[in-house]
A and B are shown apart, each in its own frame.
Chain A
């Protein structure tokens, strides 16, 4: 059974760095074609893709957030980490990690397993 679970702070102050962890089980990120992404959703708004990391450590980021995001993986610990620097109130929302099978970044099979999400509020 494949499971994903996000963890991190529920509340962060503006200008701080947000660090989120996605612990997963039931598959290996060393397997060819496996990849993980982070997606967020501000309250009452649409989904927004943030970052992607592949089994071979290729990374991609949303262009508007590229300078503030870092995605990394630790296959020995079965987790993926997203850091977002210099947060503001606009970064408030629910953050999801999701798995996908991808031949390449532009040729994939959708995000087939999602975590339950973690709600993050940015406030002083």
Chain B
């Protein structure tokens, strides 16, 4: 059972917009601790996609955006492309366990 809750799967057609939610609690996302998002394509290592809630590292397309409100965060992908098919994980800090925590991951299928 992951500390951060994500939907197991989402899907969308090419060109569409999808969002992936990451729900936390008052000990992680709620107090304002940063949320980061990672993309993991099958068989590869994770890649940092969004850091500090909504910042994109150099090289990440503007199609990817992150936001946060209250105890939840979201990753949005617009103009969906076949290459976006991957697993996506959110991550934050949790003050109760004094540890970094991940969400359970969301599998994105591009129809």
Residue numbers of A with Cβ under 8 A of B are 37, 39, 46-49, 52, 60-63, 96, 98, 105-112, 114-117
5 interchain pairs, CB-CB under 8 A? A47-B102, A98-B46, A107-B33, A107-B93, A111-B36
Q: A39 contacts which chain B residues (CB < 8 A)?
A: 46
Nearest CB on A from B32, distance (A)? 10
Decide if the interface of chain A is mainly helix, strand, loop or mixed: strand
- Known interface pairs A37-B100, A52-B100, A116-B45; A46-B105 also in contact (CB < 8 Å): yes
Inter-chain contact A46/B102, CB cutoff 8 Å? yes
Decide if the interface of chain B is mainly helix, strand, loop or mixed: strand
Question: Count the A-B residue pairs with Cβ separation under 8 angstroms: how many?
Answer: 68
The answer to whether B84 has its CB under 8 Å from any CB of chain A is no
Say which residue of A49, A61, A62, A112 sits within 8 Å of B57 (CB atoms): A112
Inter-chain contact B99/A47, CB cutoff 8 Å? no
